[in-house]
Amino acid sequence: MNEEEPEDLNVSHSHSHSLNLNFGMHGVTQSLTFRLIFGAVAMAAVATLIGVITLWPNQERSAEIQRNAEQITLTSQLLRATVHEATETICGYSISSEVETCRNVTVVLQEGPESGSLVILPQVNTSFDPSFPRLAAGDSVILGFDAPTNSYYYQDRDRMGSLWWLILLFAATVILLARIRGLLALLAMAGTVLVLVKFVAPSVLDGNDPVLVCVVAAAAIAYFSLYFTHGFNLMTTVALAGTLTALGLTLAISSAFFELAKFSGYSSEEAFVLPFLAESLDVRGLLLGGTIIAALGALDDVTITQTATVLELRARNSALSASQLAISGLRIGREHIASTVNTLLLAYAGSSIPLLLLFAVSEQSLADVANSELIAIELVRTLCGSIGLVAALPITTYLAAFLVKTDQ
């Protein structure tokens, strides 16, 4: 047995090298299974490209939307400034019988035609507006400019400095640990942001079906991010096939339960504002489309991991049958899925803690809370996304297992 070990290791090494560096092994690429998978992925790519071209925003309604945004004061000119002086005094007027405090802020403009000028902001009664922050000299702030009255007002703190430092820390950490893969992942993430900002939002505002736009965008993001980050190889192609299949399943289940739940789509302040920008905007469709985009984030993680697991198992022991590879891959994947499903729930719950506190003091039952549209939407998103996530596990694992065993 010991004399045969070097030969076995050589076999495993040759398969690992071929799997990692080439598009696929000769036997795999010649198999009918591979041709079907690759053909389906290629056809989906063509359909995605056609969808992007067809749904690309033409800006025909941009002027109308801009006018609507200005009419409801949704847009304003924003300028950076630095606090020169901030004081608190007793208000010279009162909206109640109690003594009230007003905050007086003077700033130095850093942008605009009046850059360098001192500007006194409107006095703020903290009893009337408790959200107004306690500013100090030297703080960086963002001002809004109201052209009709030629006046400035406080908009927000300027926190981009700290955000840029965090972005740099994040990028450095990813590149340090993942090296070239980390750099490629960061570039893919930037590409995802561009798709959302330059394609999804303008296309939906142009009047295109938001579900169709989001499905096309999700497919485009999947192709770009997976192939760009992990390379044009066997592993990525199988993972992409599993991702697209699971996305289709998620879309079907989400569509059914969004219809059964009879969501109006008007569960948030943003939903009420959007129809004023574009009357034909389908708010309910936007919710469903957002569910597909959200599901993609976890799907590509699961499919890549499962495909890589099966290929690594095959490289370490080429004697394993397809069913043994699939069983071993599924055993590993179940642990991943268990933690990922809980992660999805915690991600939604973590962003809704203030809302949960309000429900906690409302003395409503858990069923009543879940029945409210705001919570029910998140439940449907989480559960439908999780079903697609769980389905991606066996789909991708069996595809990879039966595909690599053709090279015998």
- Look at residues 86, 96, 92 and name the one whose alpha carbon lies nearest to residue 127: 96
Which pLDDT does position 16 carry in this prediction? 38
302 neighbors 338 (Cβ within 8 angstroms): no
DSSP class of 129: -
Is residue 143 scored above 80 in pLDDT? yes
Among 8-22, 230-244, 274-288, 330-344, whose mean pLDDT is lowest? 8-22
Residue 30's pLDDT band, with cuts at 50, 70 and 90, is low
Backbone angles phi, psi at 88, to 5 degrees: -125, 135
Provide the 3-class DSSP secondary structure of residue 48: helix
Q: Please, what is the Cα angle at 132 between 130 and 137, to 5 degrees? A: 140
Whole-number Å distance between alpha carbons of 387 and 165: 37
Is residue 360 scored above 80 in pLDDT? no
Residue 2's pLDDT band, with cuts at 50, 70 and 90, is very low
Residues contacting 381, CB < 8 A, separation 6+: 254, 290, 291, 294, 348
DSSP class of 98: S
Which pLDDT does position 107 carry in this prediction? 95
Average pLDDT score over residue span 5-23:
38
Average pLDDT score over residue span 340-362:
71
Mean pLDDT of the chain: 82
Beta bridge partners of 188: none
Structure confidence by residue, pLDDT tens digits, 210-255? 899 999 999 999 999 999 988 888 888 989 999 999 999 999 999 9
Residue that wins the pLDDT comparison between 169 and 23: 169
Is residue 300 scored above 60 in pLDDT? yes
Contacts 24+ apart (CB under 8 A), 35-40: 37/237, 37/238, 37/241, 37/399, 37/403, 38/237, 40/241
Average pLDDT score over residue span 358-374:
76
Which pLDDT does position 183 carry in this prediction? 92
pTM comes to 0.78
Which pLDDT does position 171 carry in this prediction? 94
Sketch out the chain's domains with CATH numbers.
9-57+162-404 (no CATH), 76-158 (2.40.50)
